[in-house]
Amino acid sequence: MRWLSDPLLTVDHLSMHFGGIRAVSDLSFTAGRRDITALIGPNGAGKTTVFNCITGFYKPTSGRLAFAREGLAELDDVAAITRSARRHARMASGDIYLLERMPDFQIARQARVARTFQNIRLFSGMTVLENLIVAQHNILMRASGFTILGLLGLPPYRTREAEAVKTATYWLERIGLLPRADDPAGDLPYGDQRRLEIARAMCTDPVLLCLDEPAAGLNPRESAELTKLLCAIRDDHGTSVLLIEHDMSVVMNISDHIVVLDHGVKISDGASDFVRDDPNVIAAYLGVPGDDTTAEQRA
Amino acid sequence: MPDAAASDAVPSKTQNRFIAALRDAAFVGLITAGLSFPLIALRAEADMNNHLELQQRWSWLVSATIAMAASRFIASIFDRLVARIVGVTGVWLILFAGGTAYYATDTHPGVIAGCVLAGLIAIGLAAALNRSSVDAGRTETRPAEPSRFYRLDTSGGSLAGNLISIAALGCAIAFPLVVLAWLGPQGSLKWINNYGVQILIYVMLGWGLNIVVGLAGLLDLGYVAFYAVGCYAYALLATKFGLSFWLCLPLAGVLAAFWGILLGFPVLRLRGDYLAIVTLAFGEIINIVLTNWVDLTNGDAGIPSIPRITFFGLPFTAADDGFAARFGIEFSPIHRNIFLFYLILALALLTNFVTLRLRRLPIGRAWEALREDEIACRSLGINTTSTKLTAFALGAMFGGFAGAFFAVRQGFVNPNSFTFSESASILAMVVLGGMGSQIGVALAAAVMIGGTELLRELDFLKVLFGAAFDPSQYRMLIFGFGMVAMMIWKPRGLVSTRSPSIFLKQRKAIAGALVKEGHG
C-alpha cells in the first residue's frame, strides 16, 4: 500500500474537458514511490488524456497534480504551494512540484517525469545513439556552457559528452540494441523501437516514467522481455513507473497498483488481486448481465 | 525506348555490348541522316525577288548525324539513366567545342579546350556512375542486407569526404591567384568579382539558411530580410555615423540576429505552410519599409557612396597612403577585389565552421531532433522555444554578415537587391544541395550562380542561332528544367544522405528517406 503511505504523484480532482466532452472528470488517485502503477480501462476511458495532463501536453480544466520528487510531502506544504502562485517549492522533505502549472518541457526537465508515446515518436532520421544523446540534452547543454564553451571546443564538454555516450551505451546494452547503435532509429523493427523509446526516456534520468501502451504490437516473447525491463527499471534504478496497458498479462504480472478508468471516471483502485475481482471492473470490461444499455454504450 | 531492348539483349559481355552499341549508333546515325536530308540539309528560302531558292547545308547534316550517333552510342553503353544523361552531356560538350572551333574561328581557344575537357570529365564521370550502379545493384540483390541505408566504410568514407572538402578549399584559396596569373589584372576582374565573390556570397547565405531550413526544419521564405538588415545596417551606420566596416560587421550580425528573434517569436507556434507564409510576409515587410521609409533609407534611390573596404585601415586607392603604395606594388583595382574575395571566403568558412561545430553540440542535435519530432523533443525536456529562436537568430546573423559584406562590396544599396526571388533562390540552393548538407549547398550555390554567369559567356552560340540570340535570357528556363530534373532524379537534393553527428563504432550515412524535412 505504498501508494497511500508514500505517494510520489497525487492526482486530486483532475478534470479535462474538450468543449462539451468530458474526457476525464473528477479523477483522484495516487501513484506510489518505486511502484509500478497501471492505468487501465476500455478504449476511450481517458487514460491517455490523464497522461497528457501529467506530462503537461494538456492543461487540465481543473484539479491538482502534486509531485513529491524526493520524499513524502506534508499535506500542509502542498496546500501552501497551491495557495501561492508558485509551481514549485523546496520543502524539508524535498522538492514539490504542481505539474498542472508547468509547461511540458519543464515537467520533463525539472520534475523529471519522462514519457513514451502510444504511436512511437523516435527521431527516425537520427541514429539510435543520437536518440539517446538528444535525451541528455539539458545536462550536455549545461556542460557546453550553453553552446558558447562548446563552440570553443573546451575539454569539459568533451568529457561530459563521453559520459553521455557511456550512459547511452549502458541503456543500449540493457535493451540489447548495442550492435545497432549506429543505425538509424527508423530502420529498427517495431519491438526494438518500443524498447529504444523507453531507453531514451530513461536517459533523461527520470523519477517517474510514464509509458503509454509499451506492449502494444509486441509478440509474447517481446512482452516478457518488456516485463523484465520494467521490473529492472523499478528495482535497479528506483524509478517509479506509470503505465497504460491493454495487455493484461503484463499488467497483472508487474503492477503493484492498478487504477481502472471508464468514461473518464475512476471505477476501481487497488492491488491487482483486488481489481481483478472487482465487480465494477468486470462490468466495465465485459458488460453487466442483462443490462443492455451498458452494452450499447460500449458499442 | 528502343535502345533498352538493344542494350538489354547483351548485358553480360562487354565485347558484345560494345559492338551492339556501335551497331545501334550506326543505325541511329543512318536514320538521322535520312531524316535530316529533307529537313536540314535542304532549305528553301525567299531571295530578294521573293523567289524561292534551295539552300544546301551539308555540314549541318553531318553535324546532326555525328551528334545523334555519338549520343546514342553513349546511351546504349551505359545502364543507368544518370550515367546516360551525364555521358550524353559530355558528348555534346565535345561536339559543341568542335563545332565552335570550326564555325567561330575567333573563339578563345581556352573556351574550346575547357569544353573538351569538361566533356571528357563528364564521360569519365558517367563511366564511374555506371560502375557504382552495377555494384549497388549487386548488393541490393542480397536479401539479408537492408537496402534502405548505405553501409560506408568508416575510414574510406570520411577520408573521401575530407579529401573533397580540402580540395574544394584549396581550389577556392588558389582561385584568384591562378586567375590573376593567367589573365592578368584586367581579364581576371570579371572572374574574381562576378564569379568568385558572387558565388561565395550565396554559399554563405545558403549555409546560413541551411541552419534554419536544413537543420531545424523551419521553412523560411523571407531569409533575404536578414540579408537586407545586415546590408542597410552597414550602409546607414557607415554613411551617417562614419563607423568602420570592421566595427559594423559584428553589429550587422547582431542586428540581423535581433530581427531573427523578433520574427521568431510570432511564428513559434506556426508550422508548415503557415510558417512559410508569415516568413514570406516578413521578407516583404522589410523590403517595403526599406522602399518607403525615404527619410532613413532614401527609398528606391538607395544609399550611394557607402565607404569602400579598406585593408585594415589602408584604403585601396592610388593615393600615397593607399594599400598599393604602402606595400610598394603598382596600384590596380584588382587588389580590392582579391581582398573582398578572401574576406567573403573567410566569412563563409566561419559560417561553415560554426555550423559544423554546432551540429555536434547539444543545440545542433536539438535542432535536428526538432526537425524530426517536436513533441518528442518536449517530452525530453528540450525547450523548443529557445531552440527555434536560436536557429532563427544564428541563421539571421550569418545573413547579416553577408549583407554587410554585400554593402561594402557594392558601395551602393537599394531595396531592389532584396526581393522575394532572392529568398527563393537561396532556398532553392538549400533544397537542391540537400537539406542539412554543407557541401551540397555550396555545390548548388556554385552551380546556380556560376551557371547563370556562365550563360553570359556563351556568345559563340550566336553563330549558330543568330545574332539576336542571348543565352542569359534563357537562364530561368534552364534553371526550371534543372529543378524539374532534380526533383525527378534526386528529390532529396545533391547530397541526400545525412551524416550522423556522433557514432560508437562506425559512421554510417543515413538514407534521405528516413530523415524528415521538418514540419515547418
Question: pLDDT by residue (tens digit) across A147-191?
Answer: 777 777 667 788 888 888 999 999 999 888 888 888 899 889 888
Chain A closest-CA separation from residue B271 CA (Å): 17
What's the number of CA atoms in the CB half-sphere (13 Å) around residue B115?
21
- pLDDT surpassing 90 at residue A75: no
Cβ distance B376 to A106 less than 8 Å, yes or no, reads no
Chain B closest-CA separation from residue A74 CA (Å): 27
- pLDDT surpassing 90 at residue B16: no
Residue B133: inside a domain, yes or no? yes
Note the pLDDT of residue A271: 85
Which region among A143-147, B61-65, B113-117, B235-239 has the lowest average model confidence (pLDDT)?
A: A143-147
Q: What average pLDDT does range B316-344 have in this prediction?
A: 80
Chain A residues lying within 8 Å of B376, measured CB to CB: 117, 121-123
Which region among A146-150, B132-136, B164-168, B494-498 has the lowest average model confidence (pLDDT)?
A: B132-136
Which residues of B have a CB under 8 Å from any CB of A? 146, 148-149, 354, 357-358, 361-363, 365-366, 368-369, 371-373, 375-384, 390, 498, 500-508, 510-511, 514-516
Residue B33: inside a domain, yes or no? yes
Per-residue DSSP letter, A119:
S
- pLDDT surpassing 70 at residue A90: yes
Per-residue b or e along B38-64, where b marks 16 or more CB atoms closer than 10 Å to that residue's CB: eebbeeeeeeeeeeeeeeeeeeebebb
- pLDDT surpassing 80 at residue B481: yes
Helices (H), chain A: 2-5, 47-54, 75-83, 104-106, 128-134, 137-143, 148-151, 155-175, 190-202, 220-237, 248-254, 272-277, 279-286, 292-298
Share of chain B above pLDDT 70, in %: 89
Which region among A55-64, A99-108, B165-174, B296-305 has the lowest average model confidence (pLDDT)?
A: B165-174
Domain coordinates of chain A in residue numbers? 2-112+207-298, 120-205
- Is A2-112+207-298's fold the same as A120-205's? yes
Note the pLDDT of residue B6: 42
Chain A nearest-CA residue for B353: A151
Q: What average pLDDT does range B462-489 have in this prediction?
A: 78
| pLDDT tens digits, B274-310 | 888 888 999 999 999 999 988 888 888 888 888 888 7
- pLDDT surpassing 80 at residue B141: no
- pLDDT surpassing 60 at residue B13: no
Note the pLDDT of residue A251: 86
Q: Check CB contact of A142 with chain B, cutoff 8 Å.
A: no
Q: Check CB contact of A169 with chain B, cutoff 8 Å.
A: yes
Note the pLDDT of residue B202: 93
Residue B423: inside a domain, yes or no? no
Query: What are residue A260's DSSP bridge partners?
Result: A40, A268
Note the pLDDT of residue B62: 86
Per-residue DSSP letter, B211:
I
| pLDDT tens digits, B377-431 | 999 999 888 999 999 999 999 999 999 999 998 888 989 889 888 898 899 888 8
Cβ distance A130 to B502 less than 8 Å, yes or no, reads yes
Cβ distance A204 to B383 less than 8 Å, yes or no, reads no
- pLDDT surpassing 70 at residue B1: no
Facing B354 at nearest CB: one of A106, A129, A151: A151
Chain A residues lying within 8 Å of B500, measured CB to CB: 126-127, 129-130, 182
Q: What average pLDDT does range A239-254 have in this prediction?
A: 86
What rounded mean pLDDT belongs to chain B?
Answer: 80
Note the pLDDT of residue B152: 31
Which region among A29-33, B165-169, B373-377 has the lowest average model confidence (pLDDT)?
A: B165-169
Residue B306: inside a domain, yes or no? no
Q: Indicate the fold that domain A2-112+207-298 takes in CATH.
A: Rossmann fold (3.40.50)
Cβ distance B503 to A151 less than 8 Å, yes or no, reads no
Residue matched to cell numbers 542586428: B255
Helices (H), B328-471: 334-359, 362-372, 374-379, 384-410, 420-433, 438-445, 451-455, 461-465
Cβ distance A126 to B368 less than 8 Å, yes or no, reads yes
Q: Check CB contact of A149 with chain B, cutoff 8 Å.
A: no
Residue B166: inside a domain, yes or no? no
Chain A nearest-CA residue for B511: A125
Position A132 confidence tier, pLDDT thresholds 50, 70, 90? very high
Which region among A77-91, A96-110, A160-174, A224-238 has the lowest average model confidence (pLDDT)?
A: A77-91
Note the pLDDT of residue A42: 84
Give, rounded to a whole angstrom, the gap between the first and last alpha carbons of chain A. Answer: 36
Facing A184 at nearest CB: one of B373, B380, B514: B514
Chain B closest-CA separation from residue A240 CA (Å): 17
Q: Indicate the fold that domain A120-205 takes in CATH.
A: Rossmann fold (3.40.50)
Position B357 confidence tier, pLDDT thresholds 50, 70, 90? confident
Position B376 confidence tier, pLDDT thresholds 50, 70, 90? very high
Which region among A80-84, A104-108, A112-116, B365-369 has the lowest average model confidence (pLDDT)?
A: A80-84
| pLDDT tens digits, B39-55 | 777 877 777 887 877 77
Chain B closest-CA separation from residue A253 CA (Å): 28
Share of chain A above pLDDT 70, in %: 95
Note the pLDDT of residue B397: 94
Cβ distance B358 to A147 less than 8 Å, yes or no, reads yes
Q: Is the dihedral of CA A15, A16, A17, A23 positive or negative?
A: negative
Which region among A266-280, B173-187, B430-444 has the lowest average model confidence (pLDDT)?
A: B173-187
Residue B118: inside a domain, yes or no? yes
**Best to test chain B binding among A132, A141, A167, A192 (most B CBs inside 10 Å):** A141
Note the pLDDT of residue B160: 59
Q: Check CB contact of A106 with chain B, cutoff 8 Å.
A: yes
Chain A residues lying within 8 Å of B516, measured CB to CB: 124-125
Note the pLDDT of residue A161: 85
State the complex-level ipTM: 0.87
Query: Which secondary structure element, helix H or strand E, spans residue B42, and what is its range?
Result: strand B42-46
Note the pLDDT of residue B2: 43
- pLDDT surpassing 70 at residue B250: yes
Grouping H, G, I as helix, E, B as strand and the rest as coil, residue B17 is: helix
Q: d(Cα B196, Cα B454) in Å, to the nearest integer?
A: 12
- pLDDT surpassing 80 at residue A124: yes
**Best to test chain A binding among B361, B387, B437, B506 (most A CBs inside 10 Å):** B361
Note the pLDDT of residue A208: 92
